[in-house]
Amino acid sequence: MKITKAKLKQIIKEELNNLSEVEYDEHGPMYAQPVEDERTPDKAVVLVQGYAGLRIDQIRRRLQEMHAEIAADEGLGTLSYYLRNGVMNAFAKTLHAHNALSAPEQRQLPDPEEEKHSIDTQAIGE
């Protein structure tokens, strides 16, 4: 697997940013803890067991990049590599624990026609 110089610079930059985003107390780094039935915000820094602290959106993006690399590899070398080192599994377990396996829901904008109708109905009722 080859990494371009630009990709390596991007990875290093992200890792340095990640270090500055983690809050610390007297015992060390503070990571967001999973809460049952609640989705952890995408910007929260969480601990990926055996790996490092990352934001939820970073984990999701890295999984997508791995998926693209696997799909581009005509052999099974890339898939084998990711399965052997366990990073994909650790990322998936972390997202599952934080109820963040699915992409964040997009906020739906209200339909202007429905808003107009509800305003007209309210005006008529007065």
Q: Can you give the pLDDT at residue 107?
A: 39
Q: Which residues contact 122 (CB under 8 A, 6 or more apart)?
A: none
Q: Can you give the pLDDT at residue 7?
A: 85
Asked if the structure places residue 11 within a domain, the reply is yes
Buried b (16+ CB within 10 A) or exposed e, 76-100: eebbebbeeeebbebbeebbebbeb
Alpha-carbon span 54 to 98, nearest angstrom? 13
Domain containing residue 52? 5-106
Give 10-residue mean pLDDT values along the chain (126 residues): 82 69 60 83 88 90 92 89 89 91 60 52 50
Asked if the structure places residue 126 within a domain, the reply is no
Asked if the structure places residue 119 within a domain, the reply is no
Asked if the structure places residue 122 within a domain, the reply is no
Tell me the pTM: 0.59
Q: Can you give the pLDDT at residue 62?
A: 93
Contact call for residues 21 and 57 (beta carbons, < 8 A): no
Read off the tokens for 80. Answer: 């084998």
Domain tally, the chain? 1
Asked if the structure places residue 125 within a domain, the reply is no
Asked if the structure places residue 118 within a domain, the reply is no
- Structure letter (DSSP) for residue 23: E
